[in-house]
Structure 1
Amino acid sequence: DDISGWTEDLFTARKSAINLLGVIALSKGPPVASAASKRKKGDKNKGKSEMSSIGELLVIPFLSKFPIPSHGEDASSVAVQNYFGVLMAYGGLQDFLTEKKDLTITLIRNRILPLYSLDPCSPYLISTANWVIGQLAICLPEDMSSSIYQSLMKALTMEYVEDITCYLVCASASGAIAELIEEGYALPPLSCVNDASVLLEFVMSSVTCMEETESLKVFELVATWADAIANWDSWEEMEDQGVFNTIKEAVNFHQRFEFI
């Protein structure tokens, strides 16, 4: 927990550091001579210069020095701890990145989404990556919606890594999806059957008592999902796996609560 940043004794310190970094990134840096003025020797504006932000000059280049952890990296390794700090920093640069669309695209594509392909990957990194996506929901490009939503859906069904709970991963992924929808971020053109299967599997796996089956309307969801499968005629390979996983979880759900 010490490296996760989610413990109470570290939350305030990390939050204040993130806020300060965001302010620093927006600050104006020293004048930088533009390339155009350098090429035009006879230009009257030759002596003028452009102002760049500290975020461009120092913050982003510094964070880029820390590589993405490799496959199989231990959760307590220095690489994982360092990259956790990098992700927290990216989340604090929301105002700065909102003004830098190209930079945001690069960060999401090269520094965030690859984390979801690591096997295994620290739940702390994935939960923080989910949080970053939620923080940057206002400035994400629509052409990346498919990759972003698929990554978040993958996080929702992430299995426990050794004895580490994945509750924060699921909670942060749900929060990120809520932020995306609230900001009007376009949903990808994926099959409703696949999406429904993944979500229903997650709901059933999270139920711990009979009372929750009523509040979450599990029986109604299963019945609606079964009807959708029975009437669906546009099957794809990815949908098959999602349906089979949900059927398996439905059987486990039945056995856990010994329903008749």
Structure 2
Amino acid sequence: MAYGGLQEFLREQKSEFTANLVRSRVLPLYSVSVCLPYLVASANWILGELASCLPEDISADVYSSLLKALQMLDKGDTSCYPVRASAAGAIVGLLENDYMPPEWYPLLQVIVGRIGYEDEENSILFELLSSVVGAANENVADHIPYIVSSLVAAISKHMHPSSEPWPQVVERGFAALALMAQSWENFLREEVELDQSSGKWESGQAAIAKAFSALLQQAWLTHIQPLECEVSAPPSCIDDSSMLLRSIILSVSERNVIEELKLSELLLVWADLIGDWHAWEETEDLSVFDCIKEIVNLHSKYELKNFIVRQMPPPPAPPVPPQSIIEGIGAFLSEAILQYPSATWRACSCVHTLLHVPKYSFETEGVKQSLTISFSCAAFSRFRAIQSKPSSLWKPVVLAISSCYLCYPAVVEGILKKDEDGGFALWGSALAFLCSSSLEPRLSLESEIKLAVLTLAKVVERLLGLGNPGSSLLQDCYASLMEAAVQLKEVQEDEENDEGDDEEAEDKEDDNEESEDDDEDSEGDECEETEEEFLERYAKAAVNLENNTLVEEGDVEDQEHDIELGSLDEVDQLKVVASSIERYHNVIMQGQTLSSQLISKFLKAYPQLTYLLLHS
């Protein structure tokens, strides 16, 4: 409390006052001839506490003193661990308050050089390393290939087969490596955009992948005994491990690399771990979803071993194939949809990827059907929990069921019809609502609308097969099919126009930069939120939270990404729509009429189909 009060006091003073106070009372302690470790440790702690109110002109001197303290060696029998630990904490405070050192390498060199000496100190240094990588981002990326091997070696010393959960130093080490993997990926992406990729970056990626693979092999594969089918690896650091695994996958450029890095074996263990994962956290485990998509892409290129069907284990194990990679992923996604509201968008997006991107053979159709059943049950259970009022989570779960329906219509119908309140009609009505509503939630991306068009066409066909052409659900689905087809055409035309406008906009961007900045400033002034608007916004958020329909920030970003339709992308939606109208329009419209506005919009979008409607 005392230092909290001092912070408030210093914030009210002029910057010269704080600078003079620190220069005259604190910094001299770092240059005295007789070092007093515990006094320096106290000085470090004070600087860390006051990091938020230090003026810019003194931050460099403070950082230099703290870096010196971070390197302080023990004095005979006197341990300087408190000095180094408090210096690390104070440097973290500086970085969190936006101080950027003039050079990052000296700090990295000190941190990496100290890691490995003392167990307790290693944990603190890994935490500091995470802060450094997070603050510096791409500025330290070119150093990563040269330091990652020594970090992996230090972490490996603390990993033991019987250790569950992992020690704190291992968990923090994995967290630091995951941040480094992300930083390296961002760095490479920029290099590729600048067309500066070279053998140097390829060798760096290979070195990182080799180190990560060795670490994960020690963490996971050492737990598998001969003839064992089940994996007993500890489920620690799943999110960070997924980031490391993804980094390994991104390094694969040839099939032989998969063998060298034992990637197939690592993926099997990882899939088993996430398939039995129940420790859900609202702000974690997101790297798992990114990793899933990279695994599917890798399989599309190289056909991974044990991806869809796992090989039969040798005797004396039971002659039953263990869980494959995709089955483990499927179990994780089903559980995520049921238990993890803030990741619903990501989980449902992966559902489309798993069902439509891999190529299933006749022998593996059983796996695809099992996935379809699992995903349908999970998505419909989630939909039933939120279906009382339209919400943003309607869209991902309804579309996930749509993907399942296109794979096995009869199977999914059977699952939905088991619901006492008419599950099939509930889902069909919700899909029709998403296609025809001008309110949120509504379909906006081309891939979403195309999936809806294909699904509605199949629903119309199936409903007519039941022999009830006058049902309200059939009428709604048919009208929504036409509306979705119109919207799909509009979205495709808008994208074509945007591509042409982008080139013109790039030419004018530099000229308009200053005026745009002025406009943004004025908009910020005009759009300042009032107290009443603030209270209203939070009241709505509270209602959404109570109804379990609040979407996390990460999920809002996920809504902006197209879903992967795989083989469905090759389907010509125009032929599908034309076929539905030609075959079913007269039957469906007996005694019924479509709105003249809808017909007009449809004919404007598809004039080539005029003959079908006018002669029906």
TM-score, length-scaled by structure 1:
0.48
Q: Which has the higher contact order (CA 8 A, sep 6+)?
A: 1
Select the structure that is richer in helix.
2
Q: For the pair shown, which has the larger CA radius of gyration, 1 or 2?
A: 2
